[in-house]
Amino acid sequence: MHSSAFLWLSELSDEQAYEFLDEVIQAAHDAGTHTAFLHTLDVLVGQYAPSPTLPHGVMP
């Protein structure tokens, strides 16, 4: 699946991508406030997005 908002989404299987998007939709429905939704979105992206790789020699 290709996404311009979540560039890493194409690295997931279709099943994982749809699961992530379903959770995003559910979070938007359940959140109640924009801030709560953004927090939940950050958590979901942290769970699904691959860890970024740093250039050689760069320490986190």
Q: What is the mean pLDDT of residues 5-20?
A: 88
Burial of 37 (0-12, 13-18, 19+ CB in 10 A): middle
Categorize the per-residue pLDDT at 55 as very low, low, confident or very high, splitting at 50, 70 and 90.
low
Percent with pLDDT over 90 in the chain: 50
Percent with pLDDT over 70 in the chain: 85
Task: Evaluate if pTM is beyond 0.85.
Answer: no
Token pair 């979070």 is found at: 27
Q: Is 41 in contact with 50 (CB distance < 8 Å)?
A: no
pLDDT at residue 60 greater than cutoff 80: no
